[in-house]
Amino acid sequence: MALDVTDLRSFYASSLGKTAHHLVCGHLARRWDNLAGLSVLGLGYATPYLDHFRGQALRLLAMMPAEQGVVNWPSDGASASALIDDTMLPLPDSCIDRVLLAHALETAEHPRELLEEVWRVLTPGGRLIVVAPNRSGLWARLDSTPFGHGRPFSRGQLHDLMRETLFSPVYWSEALYTPPFNRAVVLRLAPAIESVSAKLSLPGAGVVLVEATKQLYRLVGVRRIRRSLPELAPALTPALSPRPLGSGRDVA
């Protein structure tokens, strides 16, 4: 079940939420360092991360599922957010260059259908980043943060889901090694904890990040099977039928 949008907004306004945003956004910024001329879509509750790309991308859109609710975004200027059905995106085919799923896949009723819709709206060669709770992480075990709600995923489960929906993973990473405790000393040490844990590839990260590209499958053509045709004997010349009586003049 999707979280209420007010709870998500409150979390990212807290000290713990700001720390989580900073740690996750570092990975996103490294992967998408140049969005000039590109259209970017955030699905779920991705607006805290989309803020980082303002002024870079040609177009930024934020779409939130009806079960969650929607907030106006950005706070200044024309609104670029919309309330949607996550299995029927109100977009034409192949119109988006980058899609970010945050607080979306784990709460989707039909995650495969959601990814199929993302595949539909992505341009050929377009890229998707999924930020999903890690099944083996501490953040998924505590419901005090949004990452503790919904269905967490292992890397293997995400890989299978990507393959089933015709996405090809090109990058894997993990974030939020810092315990999900809103304490000043923990938050102060968060960057150091994150750096050391990532270098040592320690288990127990809070979220798994996967970047994947849209695969285009060409329909397999029907094979031309050469069959050995039987040798045919020359056809007999048909005999002329007799001329009907009275059809011509008699020769004297």
CATH of the domain at 58: 3.40.50.150
Q: Is 232 inside any structural domain?
A: no
The answer as to whether 225 is a domain residue is no
**Residue 171 belongs to a domain:** yes
Q: What percent of the chain has pLDDT over 90?
A: 81
* DSSP 3-state of 5: helix
The full length of the chain comes to: 252
236 found inside a domain = no
222 falls within a domain: no
- The DSSP call for residue 231 is P
Q: Which domain holds residue 192?
A: 5-214
- CA-CA-CA-CA torsion sign (153, 158, 161, 165): positive
Structure confidence by residue, pLDDT tens digits, 116-175: 999 999 999 999 999 999 999 999 999 999 999 999 999 999 999 999 999 999 999 999
- Give phi and psi for 196, each to the nearest 5: -65, -45
- Tally the domains of the chain: 1
* Residue 157 in domain: yes
Q: Is the pLDDT reported for residue 86 higher than 50?
A: yes
